[in-house]
Structure 1
Amino acid sequence: MPGGRVSDEAADFLLETRGASRELGAWVVGLAFGRDGSLGFGLGDGTLRIVQPAAPEQDWRSVAAHDGAVLSLAADAKDGYLTGGDDGRLLRTAPDGTTTEIASLGAMKWVEHVAAHESGLRAASLGKQLHLFDGKGQRLKTLLHPSSVGGIAFDAKGKRVAASHYNGASLWFVASKEDKPRLLEWKGSHAAIAISPDGTHVVTAMQENALHGWRLADGQHMRMSGYPSKTQFLSFTARGRWLATSGADAIVIWPFFGGGPMGKAPTELAGGDGVLCNAVACHPQHEVVAAGFADGLVLIAEIASGKVVPVAAPGHGGISALGWNAAGTHLAFGTEDGFAGLVDLSRRV
């Protein structure tokens, strides 16, 4: 069904034939596949749910992590998970469920964004502050921004960290002795942020239902507009040729080759019936993108052909979390209503 969404009456949903699912009882704030291969879901009730993709029908371990809600979750540097909560704590949870506090950043503070790099680096934002920690949990430095941080991202090599904020984004060299960022300026409020895999572009999602990007080589601005809603998810394909985004009634994909997206129309996939695309996640090897919609539909689309493969049927709440494992063999998702699913794609579809 190239170009369109999936009719659930006719679809063969992969979740039914090669997946596992659970009702988790709380908003799925985020998910991540640990570098050890496990899968973690962070929930609005403060718990973390851990499942082994090789045996998804077994018990999904529940870990009481935060006193309040999990606000952010990422795969930790080596294994397990990094989470931030509205209790002001930055935690590491091992695959076996053991939880360790890396930092308590203030009882009345919110740790809204976390990120980690396989080199051992961890980052957590709290208000205007971005805290960097090493693999042992020692605080390396605190980077200050002009306003609250809206999103953070490491580059592929872990040498730079980017933070979005009001009127632009700041790009920092992690190991620099003089902590002075490269300021990427553009008026307005910037939230979700992504660095291209080759480190040549930074893109943010804005409050004004648009994206803004910077080509780092020469500071060239890139304005990507026309969205009916705010973009929450930005995802580059493995080689950085395409940037997939949420925020419209289709998967909106911008070209980042042949001069980039300036003056070019985006590709739109799996749209047409007015249901917003809530989340996107590009496959770690192939030019394929997974998407989750506001009605709960999850699908996979091939960028070149537009072919759509249905993954999960609508009806379990809007998709709020979506992601692949490192090998691209498993896809997981979670919803606002607390439904979570995991699909094994290692066999041919």
Structure 2
Amino acid sequence: MPRPREPVPHALRGMPFRYAEGLQAGLGVKALRHERFDRPFRGVRRPVARVEQGPHSSYASYADAVRRSAESFAVLLRRGEAFSHETALILLGCPLRPLVERSAGGDAAPQPVHVTAPWPARARRAAGVRGHVSRRDFEPRGSPAGLPVVPAELALRQAAASLNVVELVVALDHLMLGSGARTPLLPVEPPRAAAGGLPGSRRLRRALQFARTGSESRMETLLRLLLEAHGLAERFDLQVELFDGEGRIGRFDLACREAKLVVEYDGEQHRSSRAQYLKDVRRLDRVRERGYRVLRVHAEDLFLRPLETVRRVAEALGVRTPDAPLRPELLPAP
């Protein structure tokens, strides 16, 4: 009869652990080499997790992958080290576009986790890790994922070297948003001085010009930036509360009271929930009864036919559509 597998000690179940911890907990060398354990980093083991299939966006899947990698490497962090750059922004909840690096052979390679150590410590050198040293003093902060990250302002300055203006605005919008019990991770008016001193400072200063508090999702930010690129966004207010004789109608992504126009991004949640769908139908019927015109925008409108979308909005506003984008660096990419 085959020999039964060594049970994983209760303290190590479902979590990454150092190889030495596994030995100390009673697991043998053969057990630690078994296929039931992933080896995300040298000296780290993690029980293989069953991947649940679900209607996750590519951004959510990317964030999950980054979080799992960071959780795995966290057991190797030294005192004072913290996750940084794009890794920190994702751990703070910023819905960034998946970044793809190329291996020497030209194939897509997993995005490494970024780790920053305080001076005079040495930068980490390990497969799957991008190590950095900061001469600026920083105090590691906690993230929603429970992992240590550099302060949000420092993460933005670091990530500006590789992120474009659009992604930086997406990150800024998220970090400045407060909702419910959550306080903004950045002040509503982040200090412009925070943009200086590192590569990418010019891009970050540019992004700071277009970041606005109120966008509650990546797609809302991209919709606003599409209009901003064509000089139309300044006519709208974000997350506008509208009322009628019955009381509060609801909150709308973009609204121009002067032109009585509402522009709403229509995401998947509106079709996955019957109750949400019926609620939205009633909400939009009521705002139309108030005399507002409603334009609903989908992902295809943003990425496949952006100029047509801009023309629809401009026509509803009663203004001329620009022949070309005024700020092409703000055009969203899928």
Q: What TM-score, normalized to structure 2?
A: 0.31
Instruction: Tell me: higher relative CO, structure 1 or 2? Use CA pairs within 8 A at least 6 residues apart.
Output: 1
Structure 1 or 2: larger helix share?
2
Q: Which has the larger radius of gyration?
A: 2
Structure 1 or 2: larger strand share?
1
